[in-house]
Chain A
Amino acid sequence: MKRLQVPSWITTLAVALLAFFGVWYAKQGGHISVYWYQVVQLAAITAISALGLNLIYGFNGQFSLGHIGFYAIGAYGSALITKDYVTKWSGSQTGALAWMLAGQIGLVFALVLINKLGLPVVKKRISSSLSEHLAPHEANTLGTLAVLLISAASLAASVAVALGLHALLAPALETIISSLPEGASRPLIFALALINGGSIAALVSYLVGLALLRLGSDYFGIATLGFAVMVYTALQNSDLVIETMKGARGMVGIPPWSTWPWVAGGLVLLAIVMRNMLRSSHGRAMISVREDEIASQSMGVDVTQLKNLAFTMGGFYAGVAGALYAHLYGFLHPSSFSMIKGFDPLIIIVFGGLGSMTGTILASVMFALVIEGLRVILPQGFEDWRFVIYPIILLLIMLLRPSGLLGTSEWGWLRAPLPPERDIPVPNRSLRGSAVSASSEEE
């Protein structure tokens, strides 16, 4: 009865390897120019970021317009680390890295502390014990005040933790990096920069999500757009805070370390992680939140928590993608992270299919190839017309295929695994659907 089938992971692996070595040999053999080599990498980077947004909007149903902001944070955050390694702008090769690590751990510490203290409960307790002696509004105000004081105290404690950590980390990192040979310290710094780009963006998106996710999808979209504008404006004036970011002049001196193996490796790794997460019970719960919040709540899903998880994870993907982008050209300018640019990943996921990883990856590649391809095809001086032609192509496809290229379907290993074989007696045809007879056999 059963046909012999090649397991889906084998075909998927084969396609991935083919794509990887295809690009690699084309580059090594000089068959593609540096320009196209970078276009291919940009496509993979865009795919990482778009996967993150698809998780938030496609799989979890939260319409976000702020994705480019997290991409920017990952880009600049990681660039500060690697530029430090090359130019020692902070005074030491690992100064920026030490500060970022300490800062992040301090922030996580503060969040855990505030969460553990259970502030709403504390407030209620203080207010109710005070209300025996005071008017209700006085008790309430004092309760709020007490909670604010406690928050401030835990923030102060976290700053202390961060400062202490920095004092420990800075010399330790310095010794480690300087003792390693260049061939080892460079990739180490790059890897750390990529991870930090992701984790900083994830932390910020956790905080943004905490504040905004309760707004409900439409308002959430507008509010996240506001966030992206905020980041953009901050970047234009960043030189006032950190001189080396150069604000509106654009940050230079970032080592161009992004290569196809790094970019493709990042994409593959992050795609595997996302696929496995989506096929876990958390992933199913994320999708169920998109489908019907009330129903998934009655399954026992903590809806707020899952929205936060998806948004934070999506932010991480944007951050890593931004970090790879920063090291692709070695130059960052705020205009790469403007509101208009922010629509790119959104267009890609809608075009590829909301809720399809396969569609997102395909659409990212097509997006890059079409945009750059039109630049080549169009006559000199008409390059900017591609931004007219491109939306027209897009519009046509949206009219012909409203649910995107793939809808919610996936290809190969990205698909949901088939159900296991079960040796429940095959229901007798005459009893089909009649549960009484079927279930009375059981006990």
Chain B
Amino acid sequence: MSLPVRTFDAIVVGAGGSGLRAALELSRAGLRVAVLTKVFPTRSHTVAAQGGVAAPLANSGEDNWHWHMYDTVKGSDYLGDQDAIEYMCRRAVEVVIELEHMGMPFDRLENGKIYQRPFGGHTQDYGSAKMAMRACAAADRTGHAMLHTLYQQNVHANTQFFVEWMALDLVRDAEGDVLGVTALEMETGEASLFHAKATLLATGGAGRIFAASTNAFINTGDGLGMAARAGLPLQDMEFYQFHPTGVYGAGVLITEGVRGEGGYLLNKNGERFMERYAPNAKDLASRDVVSRAMTTEIKEGRGCGPDADHVMLKLDHLGADVINQRLPGIREIAIKFANADPIREPIPVVPTVHYQMGGIPANYLGEVVVPAGGNDEAVVRGLYAAGECSCVSVHGANRLGTNSLLDLLVFGKSSGEQMVKSIRAMPEAHKPLPKDAGERSQARLVRLDSARSGERVAEVSNELRRTMQAHCGVFRFPELLIEGVEKMKAIAARAERIAIEDKSKVFNTARIEALELDNLVETAMATVVSAEARKESRGAQARSDHPDRDDANWLKHTLWYKDGNRLAYKPVHLKPLSVDSFEPKVRTY
């Protein structure tokens, strides 16, 4: 049984900020581009970004790319590749101004220039106490405005959108070249082959592998699963950033602004415990410090509620006026998801998974790179990755706020440019599809469509999320990690025995969720196995048995392979493109 084939110059999987930026570059070059997306483009998770996008425009105070680069290297806890970081910071002004010219409604200064505000970790003069004004925002709708602007531009440039199409697997030939993807049209339930000269994965993060997550339901790590199944490694998957204040039980993010306005955290004894952990910054210490303190309180039995598993965020002392006027939306979120009116009572919160630093290994041109033939970073011909699903790696072990939207713009653009270049250098005719193209996807579908009985998707995915939360959370304990790896192996085995009751093809969401589960499994396995193996604490990885960073042994990138569930390592690029290297130092704020 062969699948119908659709042929394009380029395929972009994902219509968030990174996918749309890349597609624009390709369409404007006159190429035939297909963008596949599970949901309507402007409903991609990028819409949730509020804080802004970083660029050293120096509109509201002195700034330059060197300072931005230093902050990003330090923020990454020195795991970031310094060539890629230099590349990103040097192109930041260009991509933000370009977006402005496309019509992005940035907030403005009186002189008409883009207004910029400070954001955690962004400083002046290589880490001085003075904050840089570097974040550009469009009210509290930065991500929304970015998606709408880029989508409109793509419509004008004739990008072809395949909405409610789910990419299933990469197509690789015997030489390892990527020749496209298989994808399922939800409306019909039928699979097709998309044949192209270049394919970009821009499928976003996989925050949904944890029980407590700020990510939307669609963030199931599909691109990561596709890469892993195609034999490609996933890089630095142990590093996930936790946001300290997600609403307990729901995950919805309560902005740092609440603590900025004077809100603070309490344990079950009503103690303002951050005074003990960070006597100066207290509740405004950096995200990882606050998250770890909260977890310690809970671990030591001072959590709130019947299960002693969360802490409280108190803001009633700020008064109704401040809450209503300066923290719009917070009251509604607390009432809706915690059943607590913050004007009268505290909000239950827990550290919540927010951002995935690891991903598909790529260089700053978006090319996917893997170890081969003695080269740590051999290019996989035909395959590119950008955005949260990629690991370039500019965020290293910890991302700075507002650097992610910048990453989407810079590497969306650079991967688009590189794809154009590479396609133009290729022969007119497409490289022929291998005979077995589509086989893996067909086998997955056949299994789902024929299994009479077996495991249920919701149960297995809930178990996966609970396991990751309990065994691979903010604080990592050696015994829990080892147990977590074993539990994930059992969960992976259960996931292979999934059965769905309703076998209908036409718009069957149960079938789609079963296919998503495969991706959750690959991502979660990569995460827990990589975390167990890394015997140090760095950035977002905090281990109880190895509390310090260990540059002598661990200043290296992790690579996880699905095949054999095995790990390899490769060096960090400490050498920037043009400036001197920033040598690893102890990270203090």
Q: Are A and B bound to each other?
A: no
Binding site for B on A (CB under 8 A): none
Binding site for A on B (CB under 8 A): none
